[in-house]
């Protein structure tokens, strides 16, 4: 799946604090220089080099239980029933803020509310484009920009669905365009909310209170929205999760109203002053991925990674048997996967590669890149293996995940060393001993 991040960030991009302490890690992106033998041997020379590709690999899958999901690059919404991974149900919480403090609506007795619309700009999706039913609720518990939120957390909200009856079910059109008045914009999900909320918000502006005098006062008064789907039981292979770009100025809640015959609008924005986080429920019960999580030995046949839930593990203990005095010229990890071209469950374009040090997940400064022709990922592990040889890192366990772990619904099925398929995972190391 190809999806890129916007050039202008609404907030600090992070896959999660537990996932990405990356780039401050033991092995950085740039190769670490060693003075030992530096003037004698060119690390890029392959003269008298040795190549090893017979390392024994152990593969399995682990489940995440505490994934930080606040300040995501994209909000996720929707559900689908994956034949290999089970049911995925994604929703999100967000604040909205005033487009201007102390708004003056003028003579509100002359106002007629035409509509209240929550617009969400599509970024991408995962699955297939069947109808989904959306619900929106007003929060009764405040969320905070400087707080940490996890993907399993819920926040208190009203029991009243704000979506106008008859407008709950939508047919997704993420690849199309949306017409708003006389403007044509990038595709949006436009959710019609109850006009009574718009009337409440307008009336509050002339109440004489201070709720509209600051952002903090407003978010204490109107705490935000919870956006979810209610699709009931879905057949295997049906449904999708959609990614929404809340960074975009067109993602907002808008009151459309008429005052003394003149049509007007007022916007409530979603921007850097808004707290938000993704909530995702995944039920792997009875599915192959759950079997591997419960029984690591079965991961030798195939093993898995899934956004918001599970990470693939590959252990290569034989790397510690490399000569201590050697220069690693090349270390390429090749990870074949199970995927048929044009399948609705496409693999991630990139995977993140991490290690666990002192029980903290840390990136090693590299990513794995998918090649649809070979149906495999390739990871350049040269710096990592060199760090193992020199003792800067001690673990031979690599942790693999979809790169966009808290902003997608992607999943991957890797071939294990005991797969019945032709291609098996391997690491090929080329080095020169000195």
Q: Where are the domains of the chain?
A: 50-65+286-433, 75-274
pLDDT score of 432 more than 70 = yes
Given pLDDT bands bounded at 50, 70 and 90, which one contains residue 379? very high
Q: What local confidence, expressed as pLDDT, does residue 128 receive?
A: 92
Mean pLDDT of 210-221: 95
What would the mean pLDDT of 21-28 be, rounded to a whole number? Answer: 35
* Average pLDDT over the chain, rounded to an integer: 88
C-alpha span between 200 and 63 (Å, rounded): 44
| pLDDT band at residue 22 using 50, 70 and 90 as cut-offs | very low
24 pLDDT more than 70: no
Question: 284: which 2 tokens?
Answer: 């792997």
Residue 203 has pLDDT above 60, yes or no: yes
Q: Which numeric CATH code is attached to 50-65+286-433?
A: 2.60.120
Q: What is the pLDDT of residue 276?
A: 97
* Mean pLDDT across 312-334: 96
Residue 242 has pLDDT above 80, yes or no: yes
Percent of the chain beyond pLDDT 70? 89
Residue 54: the pLDDT is: 93
pLDDT digits (tens, 9 = 90+) for 124-141: 999 999 999 999 999 999
């Amino acid at each position: 799946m190809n999806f890129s991040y916007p050039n202008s960030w609404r907030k600090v991009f992070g896959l999660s604090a537990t996932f990405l302490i990356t780039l401050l890690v033991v092995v950085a992106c740039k190769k670490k220089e060693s003075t030992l033998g530096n003037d004698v041997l060119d690390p890029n020379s392959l003269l008298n080099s040795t190549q090893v590709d017979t390392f024994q690999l152990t593969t399995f899958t682990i489940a995440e239980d505490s994934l930080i999901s606040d300040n995501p690059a994209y909000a996720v919404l929707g559900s689908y029933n994956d034949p290999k991974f089970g049911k995925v149900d994604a929703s999100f919480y967000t604040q909205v803020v005033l487009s201007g403090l102390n708004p003056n609506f003028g003579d509100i007795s002359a106002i007629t509310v035409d509509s209240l619309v929550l617009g969400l700009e599509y970024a991408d999706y995962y699955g297939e484009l069947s109808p989904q039913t959306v619900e929106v609720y007003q929060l009764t518990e405040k969320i905070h920009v400087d707080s940490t939120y996890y993907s399993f957390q819920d926040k208190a909200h009203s029991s009243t669905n704000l979506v106008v009856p008859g407008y709950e079910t939508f047919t997704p059109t993420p690849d199309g365009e949306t017409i708003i008045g006389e403007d044509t914009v990038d595709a949006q999900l436009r959710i019609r909310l109850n006009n009574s909320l718009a009337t409440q918000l307008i009336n509050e502006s002339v109440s004489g209170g201070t709720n509209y005098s600051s952002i903090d006062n407003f978010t204490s008064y109107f705490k935000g929205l919870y956006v979810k789907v209610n699709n009931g039981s879905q057949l295997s292979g049906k449904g999708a999760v959609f990614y929404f770009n809340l960074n975009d100025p067109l993602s907002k809640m808008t009151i459309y109203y008429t005052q003394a015959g003149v049509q007007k609008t007022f916007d409530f924005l979603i921007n850097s002053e808004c707290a938000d986080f993704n909530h995702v429920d995944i039920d792997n019960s009875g599915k192959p991925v759950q079997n591997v999580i419960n029984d690591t030995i079965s991961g030798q046949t195939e093993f898995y990674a899934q956004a918001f839930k599970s990470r693939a593990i590959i252990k290569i203990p034989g790397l510690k048997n490399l000569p201590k005095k050697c220069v690693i010229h090349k270390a390429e990890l090749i990870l074949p996967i199970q995927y048929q071209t044009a399948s609705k469950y496409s693999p991630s374009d990139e995977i993140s590669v991490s290690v666990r040090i002192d029980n903290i997940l840390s990136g090693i400064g590299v990513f794995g890149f998918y090649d649809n022709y070979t149906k495999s990922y390739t990871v350049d592990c040269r710096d990592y293996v060199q760090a193992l040889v020199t003792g800067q890192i001690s673990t031979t366990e690599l942790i693999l995940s979809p790169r966009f772990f808290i902003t997608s619904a992607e999943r991957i099925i890797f071939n294990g060393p005991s797969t019945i398929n032709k291609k098996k995972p391997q690491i090929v190391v080329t080095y020169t001993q000195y």
